[in-house]
Amino acid sequence: MIESDTSLRFRPAHYDDIPAIVALVESAYRGDASRIGWTTEAEFLEGQRTDAEGVREILEQPDSVILLAERGSDLLACINVQRLPTAGYFGMFSVRPNLQGQGIGDALLKAAEAMARDEWHHQRMTMSVFSIRPELIAYYERRGYRRTGETKPFPYGDARFGLPKRDDLVFEVFAKAL
């Protein structure tokens, strides 16, 4: 467990955290609740962002951790950190919409980067973001992430990742030296 000076506590998720993780991720990205924050995807995706089965699959992967940010017993944010052969990767980065912009995400991202660097000895962290999200791209660029030139297609036709409202969704891959 990692402690920070802002009374945030970071810890790896366990199976009993699955319902709270699903609720957090859904609230940060989908539906009207997500519109309170700035990370919403509700304008271009409907349906679910994740489900209990998907979170369980992530927890069962040997080189994957869902890191939680808590204050007291309240779940405030989560991030999935994966150990890939040549770099760390993060995804499912979610902060409660009403708490976005308060530094919780920054602190959690730093903890995820420290895990990849210090525990897994990676010198690089990667991530992907929708290419149509200039505000999110700017957020990551301010934190040292740079475009790699690589893109990944959105998994159209797989409702587990949402129901697209447009046909131009693509992920852009970013990387940062650790």
CATH number for the domain spanning 138: value is: 3.40.630.30
d(CA 33, CA 35): 5
The dihedral over CA atoms of 33, 36, 41, 43, expressed in degrees to the nearest 10, equals: 90
Which pLDDT does position 21 carry in this prediction?
98
Which pLDDT does position 6 carry in this prediction?
55
Write out residues in the chain with pLDDT < 70, as ranges. Answer: 1-6
For residue 88, give the nearest of 119, 126, 114 by alpha carbon.
126
d(CA 162, CA 9): 31
Q: Which domain holds residue 89?
A: 2-177
User: pTM (2 decimals)?
Assistant: 0.92
Cα 166 to the center of its chain, rounded Å: 22
User: What does the block give as tokens for 37?
Assistant: 């924050």
Which pLDDT does position 81 carry in this prediction?
98
Number of domains forming the structure of the chain:
1
Which pLDDT does position 10 carry in this prediction?
97
Which pLDDT does position 107 carry in this prediction?
97
Which pLDDT does position 1 carry in this prediction?
46
